[in-house]
Amino acid sequence: MNQATVKYRDFVLLALFTAIVFVLGLTPLGMVPLGLIKATTLHIPVIIGCLLLGPRYGAVLGFMFGLVSFLSNTMSPAALSFAFTPLIPVPGTPNGSPLSLIICFVPRILVGVVPWFVYRGLQKLMKESSRGEVLSMAIAGAVGAVLNTALVMSLIYFLFRDAYASLKGVPVEAVAGLVLGVVGTNGVAETALAAVLTPAIGKILLSLKRRKM
Protein backbone atom coordinates (compact mmCIF):
# COMPACT_ATOMS: atom_id res chain seq x y z
CA MET A 1 0.00 0.00 0.00
CA ASN A 2 1.59 3.30 -1.06
CA GLN A 3 2.00 6.29 1.24
CA ALA A 4 -0.85 8.30 -0.29
CA THR A 5 -3.26 5.40 0.17
CA VAL A 6 -2.15 4.92 3.78
CA LYS A 7 -2.72 8.61 4.52
CA TYR A 8 -6.15 8.51 2.89
CA ARG A 9 -7.12 5.40 4.86
CA ASP A 10 -5.95 6.94 8.13
CA PHE A 11 -7.84 10.15 7.37
CA VAL A 12 -11.01 8.14 6.75
CA LEU A 13 -10.51 6.31 10.05
CA LEU A 14 -9.93 9.64 11.79
CA ALA A 15 -13.21 10.95 10.35
CA LEU A 16 -15.00 7.77 11.45
CA PHE A 17 -13.71 7.96 15.03
CA THR A 18 -14.51 11.68 15.14
CA ALA A 19 -18.09 10.92 14.09
CA ILE A 20 -18.35 8.27 16.82
CA VAL A 21 -17.08 10.75 19.43
CA PHE A 22 -19.69 13.32 18.34
CA VAL A 23 -22.53 10.79 18.28
CA LEU A 24 -21.63 9.56 21.76
CA GLY A 25 -21.01 13.03 23.12
CA LEU A 26 -24.18 14.65 21.87
CA THR A 27 -26.50 11.79 22.89
CA PRO A 28 -27.13 10.13 26.27
CA LEU A 29 -24.82 7.27 25.20
CA GLY A 30 -21.67 9.27 25.82
CA MET A 31 -22.42 11.66 28.66
CA VAL A 32 -24.28 10.10 31.58
CA PRO A 33 -25.36 12.63 34.27
CA LEU A 34 -24.37 11.47 37.76
CA GLY A 35 -25.42 14.29 40.04
CA LEU A 36 -22.79 17.03 39.93
CA ILE A 37 -20.76 15.58 37.08
CA LYS A 38 -21.27 13.61 33.88
CA ALA A 39 -19.61 10.22 33.50
CA THR A 40 -18.31 9.58 30.01
CA THR A 41 -17.64 6.82 27.50
CA LEU A 42 -16.04 9.22 25.02
CA HIS A 43 -12.53 8.27 26.09
CA ILE A 44 -12.96 4.78 24.59
CA PRO A 45 -13.07 5.70 20.86
CA VAL A 46 -10.32 8.26 21.50
CA ILE A 47 -8.07 5.61 23.04
CA ILE A 48 -8.81 3.02 20.35
CA GLY A 49 -8.26 5.60 17.62
CA CYS A 50 -4.98 6.61 19.22
CA LEU A 51 -3.73 3.00 19.26
CA LEU A 52 -4.70 2.49 15.60
CA LEU A 53 -3.60 5.83 14.17
CA GLY A 54 -0.81 7.03 16.44
CA PRO A 55 -0.41 9.99 18.81
CA ARG A 56 -0.81 12.80 16.24
CA TYR A 57 -4.25 11.67 15.10
CA GLY A 58 -4.93 10.66 18.69
CA ALA A 59 -4.35 14.26 19.79
CA VAL A 60 -6.90 15.39 17.19
CA LEU A 61 -9.42 12.89 18.55
CA GLY A 62 -8.66 14.08 22.07
CA PHE A 63 -9.34 17.65 20.99
CA MET A 64 -12.66 16.50 19.51
CA PHE A 65 -13.45 14.82 22.84
CA GLY A 66 -12.83 18.16 24.55
CA LEU A 67 -14.92 20.02 21.98
CA VAL A 68 -17.85 17.66 22.46
CA SER A 69 -17.54 18.02 26.24
CA PHE A 70 -17.56 21.81 25.81
CA LEU A 71 -20.68 21.67 23.62
CA SER A 72 -22.48 19.17 25.86
CA ASN A 73 -21.81 21.15 29.03
CA THR A 74 -22.84 24.39 27.32
CA MET A 75 -26.06 23.12 25.71
CA SER A 76 -27.14 20.72 28.47
CA PRO A 77 -25.39 21.88 31.63
CA ALA A 78 -25.05 19.93 34.85
CA ALA A 79 -24.16 21.50 38.18
CA LEU A 80 -20.41 21.27 37.49
CA SER A 81 -20.53 22.41 33.86
CA PHE A 82 -18.88 25.72 34.77
CA ALA A 83 -15.64 23.72 35.06
CA PHE A 84 -15.86 22.68 31.39
CA THR A 85 -17.14 25.78 29.61
CA PRO A 86 -16.60 29.50 30.17
CA LEU A 87 -20.16 30.12 28.96
CA ILE A 88 -21.61 28.85 32.26
CA PRO A 89 -21.14 31.21 35.24
CA VAL A 90 -19.00 30.03 38.14
CA PRO A 91 -21.20 29.80 41.27
CA GLY A 92 -21.10 33.06 43.19
CA THR A 93 -19.99 35.08 40.15
CA PRO A 94 -21.82 36.49 37.12
CA ASN A 95 -19.30 35.13 34.62
CA GLY A 96 -17.69 31.91 33.50
CA SER A 97 -13.95 31.27 33.70
CA PRO A 98 -11.55 30.72 30.77
CA LEU A 99 -9.69 28.31 33.05
CA SER A 100 -12.48 25.84 32.33
CA LEU A 101 -11.01 25.39 28.84
CA ILE A 102 -7.87 23.91 30.40
CA ILE A 103 -9.96 21.27 32.16
CA CYS A 104 -12.09 20.66 29.09
CA PHE A 105 -9.28 20.18 26.57
CA VAL A 106 -5.87 19.39 28.09
CA PRO A 107 -6.71 16.05 29.80
CA ARG A 108 -8.69 14.90 26.75
CA ILE A 109 -5.86 15.67 24.32
CA LEU A 110 -3.49 13.70 26.55
CA VAL A 111 -5.95 10.78 26.51
CA GLY A 112 -5.39 10.68 22.76
CA VAL A 113 -1.60 10.64 23.12
CA VAL A 114 -0.36 8.86 26.26
CA PRO A 115 -2.04 5.44 25.69
CA TRP A 116 -0.15 4.99 22.40
CA PHE A 117 3.20 5.30 24.18
CA VAL A 118 2.04 2.94 26.94
CA TYR A 119 0.89 0.43 24.32
CA ARG A 120 4.08 0.62 22.24
CA GLY A 121 6.30 0.38 25.32
CA LEU A 122 4.48 -2.70 26.60
CA GLN A 123 4.52 -4.28 23.15
CA LYS A 124 8.30 -4.01 23.05
CA LEU A 125 8.58 -5.54 26.50
CA MET A 126 6.29 -8.41 25.52
CA LYS A 127 8.03 -9.06 22.17
CA GLU A 128 4.85 -8.07 20.28
CA SER A 129 3.12 -11.39 20.96
CA SER A 130 -0.60 -11.77 20.27
CA ARG A 131 -1.44 -12.34 23.94
CA GLY A 132 0.82 -9.48 24.91
CA GLU A 133 -0.96 -7.22 22.44
CA VAL A 134 -4.31 -7.79 24.13
CA LEU A 135 -2.81 -7.10 27.55
CA SER A 136 -1.00 -4.02 26.24
CA MET A 137 -4.26 -2.66 24.83
CA ALA A 138 -6.11 -3.33 28.07
CA ILE A 139 -3.47 -1.55 30.14
CA ALA A 140 -3.27 1.34 27.67
CA GLY A 141 -7.05 1.69 27.81
CA ALA A 142 -7.02 1.69 31.60
CA VAL A 143 -4.22 4.28 31.69
CA GLY A 144 -6.15 6.54 29.31
CA ALA A 145 -9.29 6.36 31.44
CA VAL A 146 -7.42 6.98 34.70
CA LEU A 147 -5.56 9.87 33.10
CA ASN A 148 -8.81 11.50 32.02
CA THR A 149 -10.60 11.19 35.36
CA ALA A 150 -7.59 11.95 37.56
CA LEU A 151 -6.48 14.99 35.56
CA VAL A 152 -9.98 16.44 35.23
CA MET A 153 -10.76 16.09 38.92
CA SER A 154 -7.30 17.29 40.00
CA LEU A 155 -7.65 20.41 37.86
CA ILE A 156 -11.13 21.03 39.25
CA TYR A 157 -9.63 20.83 42.73
CA PHE A 158 -6.78 23.23 42.00
CA LEU A 159 -8.76 25.70 39.88
CA PHE A 160 -12.32 25.59 41.25
CA ARG A 161 -12.25 24.05 44.72
CA ASP A 162 -14.05 27.01 46.31
CA ALA A 163 -16.89 26.80 43.78
CA TYR A 164 -16.98 23.00 44.15
CA ALA A 165 -17.25 23.34 47.94
CA SER A 166 -20.08 25.83 47.49
CA LEU A 167 -21.96 23.43 45.23
CA LYS A 168 -21.61 20.56 47.67
CA GLY A 169 -22.27 22.72 50.72
CA VAL A 170 -19.09 21.60 52.47
CA PRO A 171 -15.94 23.33 53.76
CA VAL A 172 -13.14 23.84 51.24
CA GLU A 173 -10.99 21.47 53.31
CA ALA A 174 -13.39 18.63 52.49
CA VAL A 175 -13.10 19.02 48.71
CA ALA A 176 -10.00 16.83 48.37
CA GLY A 177 -11.87 13.89 49.87
CA LEU A 178 -14.86 14.48 47.59
CA VAL A 179 -12.62 14.62 44.53
CA LEU A 180 -10.98 11.34 45.51
CA GLY A 181 -14.46 9.89 45.92
CA VAL A 182 -15.38 10.81 42.34
CA VAL A 183 -12.10 9.34 41.08
CA GLY A 184 -12.86 6.17 43.02
CA THR A 185 -16.42 5.81 41.66
CA ASN A 186 -16.60 7.30 38.16
CA GLY A 187 -12.93 6.55 37.62
CA VAL A 188 -13.19 2.86 38.48
CA ALA A 189 -16.22 2.34 36.23
CA GLU A 190 -14.69 4.24 33.30
CA THR A 191 -11.35 2.45 33.73
CA ALA A 192 -12.92 -1.01 33.82
CA LEU A 193 -14.96 -0.23 30.71
CA ALA A 194 -11.90 1.03 28.83
CA ALA A 195 -9.77 -1.95 29.90
CA VAL A 196 -12.37 -4.37 28.51
CA LEU A 197 -13.54 -2.58 25.37
CA THR A 198 -10.18 -1.26 24.16
CA PRO A 199 -8.69 -4.72 23.44
CA ALA A 200 -12.06 -6.23 22.46
CA ILE A 201 -12.64 -3.65 19.72
CA GLY A 202 -9.09 -2.49 19.09
CA LYS A 203 -7.71 -5.97 18.40
CA ILE A 204 -10.30 -6.57 15.67
CA LEU A 205 -9.75 -3.19 14.03
CA LEU A 206 -5.98 -3.51 14.21
CA SER A 207 -6.13 -6.94 12.56
CA LEU A 208 -8.30 -5.56 9.75
CA LYS A 209 -5.94 -2.64 9.30
CA ARG A 210 -2.90 -4.92 9.05
CA ARG A 211 -4.55 -7.16 6.46
CA LYS A 212 -5.08 -4.18 4.17
CA MET A 213 -1.53 -2.85 4.49
3-state secondary structure 7-28: HHHHHHHHHHHHHHHHHHHCCC
pLDDT at residue number 61 = 98
Class of domain 3-211: mainly alpha
**Distance, CA of 49 to CA of 38 (rounded, Å):** 22
What is the pLDDT at residue 23? Answer: 92
Half-sphere exposure of 200 (CA within 13 A, CB side): 8
- CA angle, 132 as apex, 114 and 7 as ends, to 5°? 50
For residues 109 and 81, give the distance between their C-alpha atoms in angstroms, rounded to a whole number: 19
pTM to 2 decimal places: 0.90
Over residues 160-203, the pLDDT tens digits come to 999 999 888 889 999 999 889 888 887 888 888 899 999 999 99
pLDDT along the chain (213 residues), means of 10: 82 95 84 61 94 97 96 90 96 94 98 97 82 91 95 94 90 91 82 92 86 65
In the prediction, which pLDDT does 168 show?
84
For position 34, what pLDDT does the model report? 57
E-state strands within 168-211: none
The DSSP 8-state label assigned to residue 112 in this structure reads T
Query: Which pLDDT score is estimated for 66?
Result: 96
* C-alpha span between 12 and 10 (Å, rounded): 5
Would you say 107 and 143 are in contact if contact means Cβ atoms under 8 Å apart?
A: no
Q: Residue 163, class by beta-carbon neighbours within 10 Å (0-12 exposed, 13-18 middle, 19+ buried)?
A: buried
